[in-house]
Chains A and B, each alone.
Chain A
Amino acid sequence: MREDADIARDVEGWLARHERKGLLRFVIVGSVDDGKSTLIGRLLHDVDGVYDDQLAGVKRASARGAIHDGDGGDIDFSLFTDGLKAEREQGITIDVAYRYFSTPARKYILADTPGHVQYTRNMATGASTADAAVLLLDARLGVLPQSRRHAYIASLLGIRELVACVNKMDLVGWDEAVFARVRDDFAAFTARLGFREVRFVPVSARRGDNVVRRSALSPWYDGPTLLESLEALPLAEASADGPLRLPVQMVLRPNLHYRGYAGQLASGTLRPGDRVRVLPSGRETTVKALDGWRGPLDEVRAPASVTVRLDDEVDVSRGDVIVGVDAAPSTVRRAVADLVWLGERAFDPSRRLLLKHTTRTVGARIEAIVGRTDLDTLETVPADGLALNDVAVVVVSCSRALHIDPYASVRGTGAFILIDAVGNGTVAAGMFRADAPPAEPTSAGGPVTAAERASRWGHGGAVVVLPDRAAADALDRALFERGAASVVLDGESVLAAPRLAAAGLVAIAVDGVETLFSGTSMEIVRVPNDIDAVSELTARGVLR
Chain B
Amino acid sequence: MLLDRAHRSHLETLEAESIHILREVAAEFANPVMLYSIGKDSSVMLRLAMKAFHPAPLPFPLLHIDTTWKFRAMIEFRDRFCAEHGLDLRVHTNRAAVAAGINPFDHGSREYTTQLKTHALLEALAAGGYDAAFGGARRDEEKSRAKERVYSFRDAQGQWDPKSQRPELWNLYNGRVRSGESIRAFPLSNWTELDVWQYVYLEDIPVVPLYFAAERPVVERDGALIMVDDDRMRLRPGEVPQRRKVRFRTLGCYPLSGAIASEATTLPEVIREMLLARSSERQGRLIDHDEEGSMELKKREGYF
Residues of A within 8 A of B (CB): 4, 7-8, 11-12, 15, 17-23, 51-54, 57, 81-86, 88, 94-100, 102-107, 109, 112, 121-122, 124-125, 128-129, 231, 235, 237, 249-250, 252-254, 258, 260, 262-264, 291, 293, 301, 303-305, 307, 318, 342, 354, 356-357, 359, 411-412, 415-417, 419, 424-426, 429, 532, 535, 539
Contact = CB atoms under 8 A, between A and B. Distances in A.
A97 B190 CA distance: 11
29 contacts: A7-B272, A11-B271, A15-B198, A51-B277, A84-B162, A84-B296, A85-B296, A97-B147, A98-B139, A98-B189, A98-B190, A112-B146, A121-B167, A124-B169, A235-B7, A250-B27, A253-B56, A254-B57, A262-B23, A293-B50, A293-B54, A301-B8, A305-B17, A357-B172, A415-B169, A416-B172, A424-B174, A426-B168, A535-B30
A411 B13 CA distance: 16
Given A7-B272, A293-B51, A254 B178 contact: no
B10 A23 contact: yes
Contacts of A96: 147
Interface string B245-284: 0000000000000000000000011011001111110010
Interface in B223-238: none
B72 interface: no
B221 interface: no
B16 A20 contact: no
Contacts of A260: 55-56
B4 A85 contact: no
B100 interface: no
Nearest to A124: B169
Nearest to A250: B27
A18 B202 CA distance: 12
Residue from the set B2, B57, B170, B177 with the largest chain A CB neighbour count within 10 Å: B170
Nearest to A258: B55
Contacts of A11: 268-269, 271-272, 275
Given A100-B139, A128-B170, A254-B56, A7 B144 contact: no
- Most B CB atoms within 10 A — which of A102, A264, A539? A264
Contacts of B178: 424, 539
A342 B198 contact: no
A417 B276 contact: no
Contacts of A293: 50-51, 54
Nearest to A307: B54
B174 A426 contact: yes
B interface residue count range (under 10 / 10 to 19 / 20 to 34 / 35 or more): 35 or more
A94 B165 CA distance: 12
Contacts of B105: none
A213 to B, nearest CB: 15
A105 B169 contact: no
Given A83-B147, A254-B56, A264 B16 contact: yes
Contacts of B293: 84-85, 88
A304 B16 contact: yes
A271 B116 CA distance: 50
B162 to A, nearest CB: 6
A426 B23 CA distance: 20
Contact of A100 (B147, B190, B275, B278): B190
B10 A103 contact: no
Most buried by A among B7, B54, B146, B169: B169
A264 B275 contact: no
Contacts of B23: 249-250, 262-263, 305
A450 to B, nearest CB: 24
Contacts of B177: 424
A106 B5 CA distance: 11
Nearest to B138: A100
Contacts of A411: 170
A224 to B, nearest CB: 12
Contact of B12 (A53, A121, A304, A415): A304
B193 to A, nearest CB: 9
B86 to A, nearest CB: 12
Given A11-B271, A125-B167, A249 B54 contact: no
Given A84-B296, A129-B169, A415-B169, 11 more contacts: A22-B10, A23-B14, A54-B280, A57-B292, A97-B146, A98-B147, A252-B54, A252-B56, A262-B52, A359-B27, A412-B170
A291 B17 contact: no
A97 B285 CA distance: 23
A426 B54 CA distance: 32
B54 A291 contact: yes
Given A258-B55, A293-B51, A426-B166, A539 B269 contact: no
A418 to B, nearest CB: 10
Contacts of A51: 277-280
A419 B174 contact: yes
Contact of A305 (B20, B140, B278): B20
B279 to A, nearest CB: 4
